[in-house]
A and B are shown apart, each in its own frame.
Chain A
Amino acid sequence: MIGPRWKKLLRDLQAAQGRMLMMVLAIAVGVFSVGTILSAYTILTREISNNYLGTNPASALLEVEPGVDDALLAEAGGRSGIEAVEASSTVVARVEVSPNQWMPLLLFVIKDFDTMHINKFNPESGEWPPAEGHILIEREALSLTNTEVGNAINVETPNGSKQEVVISGLVHDPGLAPAWQEQTVYGYITPATLAMLDGSSDLHILKVIVEDQSSVQAIEAPVSELAAWLKSQGYAVHEVRIPPPQKHPHQTQMVAILTMMLIFSLMALVLSAILTATMIGGLLAQQVRQIGVMKAVGARSRQIAGIYLALVALIGSAAVVLGLPPSLAAGRGLAGLVAQLLNFTLYSTDIPGWVYLVQFLAGVLVPFLIALGPIFKTTRVTVREAINDFGTSKETFGSRRLDSWLGKIQGLDSTLMLALRNTFRRRGRLLLTLSLLSVAGGIFLAALNVKTAWEQNLADAAADRRYDLEIRLNSPAPKEKVLSAIGDVPGIQQVEAWNYEPAAKYRPDGLDIVRTYPDGGHGSFTLRSLPPETEMVRLTILEGRWLQSGDTDGVVLNHMARALFPNVKVGDQIQLMLDGKEVDLQVVGIARELVTPATAYVLPEKFAEVTGTIEQVNGIRIVMNKHDAVTRSNVAGEVERALEANGMNVKVSILETMLDAAVSGHVYILIVMLIVMSVLIAIVGALGLVSSMGTSVIERTREFGIMRSIGARSNTVLWNVISEGIFIGLMSWVIAVAMSLPLSLSIGRLIGNLAFRFPLPLILSPSAVVIWLAIIVIGSIAASAYPARNASRLTIRETLVYV
């Protein structure tokens, strides 16, 4: 037999079903959002790691001349600290994806598909290994080629030769960033096919796995020794790529996004817990006389607190039951979506036990802890205070300056005036309602502010790039020849030489060690030359100034490059390695350049001096007369044809349209997730609005009776309550807008630094502000009107005996 106090608990639950349901729903939404993100987080971090490590990623890749043969492999593999080695080659080629439209094609040359053991990939369908003249395509890259397996594609290699190869199958390469995000096709061929395409079958990349892969430093030591030994054996070591160990190219970005989502989902949970505390507070306020009676017949504060804490625990448990199962399904769904976007396979969607535990604790413990305060406060009320609570305000209106000021307001409709004064009369309740609504609004606005800031960052990055096409050549060509070749192409407004050369931070051992992945893009560092008066980029200068004529040794670092030289200041000297040579430069400025790898900008004279390419160019940027996608594509085709007709091979042609697509591909998921999160928060906020307004009205039922007993009509009471609801809603809206600013700033700083290595700008999203205003006003009216209408239907006698 259960005791009467627990029967009371159950019947209270039954009597306030609507409110209880709202509390359960609100916490369930919080549990759902935390569970979804946490489940996805655990699956994704585990699986991205499994996928990536399953490729047995190279600790380092050394570019060696002449090629790597079996004898070298045998000797290199036996060196101290080296666990395994393998030869391969990477060729930056191009593929014709539609007539005269070319896209970068990264060719991975594999000596033996069956025995490869470093940077492995898996057969997905079709031929394995590919025959001579055949190519395997990464599964996500196939759609970029606009063709099917079994068809031939036209491939152009760096020597300018164009030949057809047949796509004979698909592979899955989880070690690379997805092709659609990079706007690059990945192909896999044998040395024989390479010989057919390029004339040479030499393999120039020595892939290495070291014994200790715990850190970049641990990898660097044996790799440097290996490089030094190679040099001593007469080999040239051009570049050493040491990517971040054990980490997928997009792992940091993914974790950053998931971390941000986790922060927002935790906020949603805390919000729902505050909502519970508010509603429990409302329930307690309504039952204060019952509490007094219970104390009068012998109940101790902690016994009464126990009843209400059990109520919160029950609500929390129900919310967990409601929120947990769909959160696991949604988490798995989200993980599947992200895995698809990042091109890795979910080998398991198991969710570890601790996620269940965290969800249970989050759903039960967080509301419990937040409700402790109001519960203990109310249950400590003395019997006299409780028995004397008549449901009208204990707080005396008129005792504060604000009250006097409100009392002096004249000229308003009397109902509005009463509503305005009533709003400030119950300060405790007002504070609680305002806190709940403001926090909800603050988080909602912050989510959309961060989304806007993220989009603004990308728009800024796009605005910084004021050109339509960049072309990189396979080898430098005389500047005059390049300009004259494309001089007659219609649609070109301006051309500038933008030379490039892979660079590395200086090392005393003379090695070019870069933090680049096998795709050569992620983590790269480049030295570029540009005319100082260029209008093709307009970067925001963070320190110092832009390059000027006469800056002989001057360099401007973008903020990503600055991260490679952590303590560097304007005026400092830095040393770079350029194809094994040391280059000394003086930093004249540091600029913000978003979504661009680390780059150091110098004047053309300096570039020519350090690369020995006087009056030569290997990169150009073009501004066209029209900037639509069709014009860009057509002009690009013409420029490429003109260059090739003059014997200059295009290595890569990057249209601004393509860059936009690549950048959007990287962030699309973040935007979607932020919108989903803001909707979830809006749901909790709306529930909070309905419940707190509803509770406030219920608490004042007796007061309505008093108003009606002195002549107020039901409609007057109704309008009074609705007006009060709107006043509170509007106040919370103002506070929410103010609160969202520091919140957006902090989250933007965290996320921006993780994703862009630069804080997101602080932006107050006007549409978010308007949407929240609409939610608040409509919600306030709806939430106040329903209970007020019910209250106005009670007889005066019923309202006056309301307990």
Chain B
Amino acid sequence: MFTQVANPIKEAILPASSSRLIELRGVTKAYEVASGQFLALKGIDMQVDAGEFVAVVGKSGSGKSTLINVITGIDDASSGEVLVASTVVSKLDQEQLSIWRGKSVGVVFQFFQLLPTLTVAENVILPMDFCNTYPVRERRERAISLLEKVGIAEQADKLPAHLSGGQQQRAAIARALANDPPILVADEPTGNLDTQTSEDVMRLFSKLVEEGKTVVMVTHERDFSRYFTRTIMLADGQVVS
């Protein structure tokens, strides 16, 4: 008779009942600061369905980054429940979160955060290496195809320092797609780019949504509203519209 070993990630996975990919129920996030407790999120309820391109907007300090950090498991909620890709994120510890995030959520940062000593292709292969998702001999091929998809295949063997900001952000998006996650989460991905490059990056995200990805993006840019299927506005840690 075999002993069944509990798998916390499996336990945290809920049966897929609908096309809903992200659901936050009564999520709060409190930080301890010198003057006491600061509530960055105050009882957030929100849902994102598969295929949506959602913008999270709001003033500085409104809780936008905290919200997407809670969604990606980079930050944990003080209370409430966070369900992402059928997984109760708050039930996972740091190690389980890393594995889950690597496979389920692609994260894109404002400052690209490519590892400076790895080439662009190697940066893209890195998540596959850590999560052991594709056979080793297929990884480079996949990386090149992702770089083609984002339009910088010819830069594959260059170091990030030799790329422009726009190219670095495209490389970062390719890296986020490495393990074919259903969700991409981006924190002001155009915040460090010029207008034209920002447009290019937004078109790329839009294309990915068309191909079936779900994107949640924090942004300050009002001009990009045409790309989004929905906009969530935050103010003082609460959803106002």
Contacts and interface: CB of A to CB of B under 8 A. Distances in A.
Contacts of A5: 126, 129-130
B113 A293 contact: yes
B101 interface: yes
Nearest to B126: A4
A296 B176 CA distance: 9
A3 interface: yes
A298 B74 contact: no
Interface stretch (A149-157, A376-384, A470-478, A712-720): A376-384
B126 A294 contact: yes
B102 A298 contact: yes
B202 interface: no
Nearest to A386: B74
Interface in B73-103: 74-75, 94-95, 98-99, 101-103
Interface in A364-405: 380, 382-384, 387, 396
A10 B121 CA distance: 16
Contacts of A382: 74, 94
B173 to A, nearest CB: 12
B7 interface: no
B116 A383 contact: no
Interface string B38-74: 0000000000000000000000000000000100101
B21 interface: no
Main secondary structure of the interface of A (DSSP, over half): helix
Contacts of A12: 117
B107 interface: yes
Given A4-B123, A382-B74, A384-B75, A297 B130 contact: yes
B74 A299 contact: no
A290 B130 CA distance: 14
A4 B101 contact: no
A1 B136 contact: yes
Contacts of A429: none
A7 B116 CA distance: 12
Contacts of B175: 297
A296 B113 CA distance: 10
A11 B117 contact: yes
A14 B159 CA distance: 14
B14 interface: no
A298 B75 contact: no
A383 B95 CA distance: 11
A4 B119 CA distance: 9
Contacts of B113: 289-290, 292-293, 296, 387
Nearest to A4: B122
A231 interface: no
A382 B98 CA distance: 10
Contacts of B163: none
Contacts of B131: 298
A303 interface: yes
Contacts of A7: 117-118, 122
Given A297-B130, A298-B130, A8 B74 contact: no
Main secondary structure of the interface of B (DSSP, over half): helix
Contacts of A298: 98-99, 101-103, 127, 130-131, 179
A507 interface: no
B115 interface: yes
A4 B75 contact: no
A384 B123 CA distance: 20
A181 interface: no
Given A4-B129, A5-B130, A384-B74, A296 B117 contact: no
B184 interface: no
B68 to A, nearest CB: 11
A301 to B, nearest CB: 6
Contacts of A545: none
A5 B127 CA distance: 10
B228 interface: no
A241 interface: no
Contacts of A300: 95, 98-99, 130
Interface string A550-571: 0000000000000000000000
A741 interface: no
B169 to A, nearest CB: 14
B109 interface: yes
A15 B94 contact: no
Contacts of B146: none
Interface in A298-331: 298-303
Contacts, number: 92
Contacts of A293: 109, 113-115
Contacts of A1: 136-137, 140
B150 interface: no
B102 to A, nearest CB: 2
A662 B129 CA distance: 69
B178 interface: yes
A299 B102 contact: yes
Contacts of B101: 295-298
A8 B130 contact: no
Given A382-B74, A384-B69, A299 B118 contact: no
A11 B98 contact: no
Given A3-B129, A296-B72, A301 B98 contact: yes
B116 A803 contact: yes
A801 B116 CA distance: 12
Contacts of A4: 118, 122-123, 125-126, 129
Given A5-B129, A303-B130, A387-B74, A290 B102 contact: no
Contacts of B115: 8, 290, 293-294
B127 A297 contact: yes
Interface string B111-155: 101111110001101110111000011001000000000000000
A289 B75 CA distance: 15
Contacts of B102: 297-299
Nearest to B74: A383
Nearest to B96: A300
A380 B117 CA distance: 22
A787 to B, nearest CB: 19
Contact of B94 (A14, A294, A380, A396): A380
Contacts of B127: 297-298
Contacts of B107: 296-297
A3 B178 CA distance: 15
Contacts of A383: 72, 74
Contacts of A3: 125, 129, 136
Nearest to A295: B98
**Which of B69, B74, B117, B179 has the largest count of A CB atoms less than 10 A from its CB?**
B117
B189 to A, nearest CB: 14
A11 B103 CA distance: 26
Contacts of B179: 298
Nearest to A16: B117
B178 to A, nearest CB: 7
Given A384-B69, A384-B74, A299 B117 contact: no
A704 to B, nearest CB: 19
**Which of B94, B103, B126 has the largest count of A CB atoms less than 10 A from its CB?**
B126
Contacts of A296: 72, 74, 101, 107, 109, 113
A803 B118 CA distance: 14
B95 A301 contact: yes
A9 to B, nearest CB: 9
Contacts of B72: 296, 383
B122 A299 contact: no
B18 to A, nearest CB: 26
A12 B115 CA distance: 11
Interface string A775-803: 00000000000000000000000000101
7 contacts: A289-B113, A295-B98, A296-B72, A296-B74, A298-B179, A302-B95, A387-B109
Given A4-B122, A8-B117, 10 more contacts: A5-B130, A7-B117, A7-B118, A15-B117, A289-B113, A292-B113, A293-B115, A297-B126, A299-B102, A801-B111
The 8 closest A-B pairs by CB, nearest first: A298-B102, A11-B117, A4-B122, A297-B127, A299-B130, A298-B131, A383-B74, A293-B113
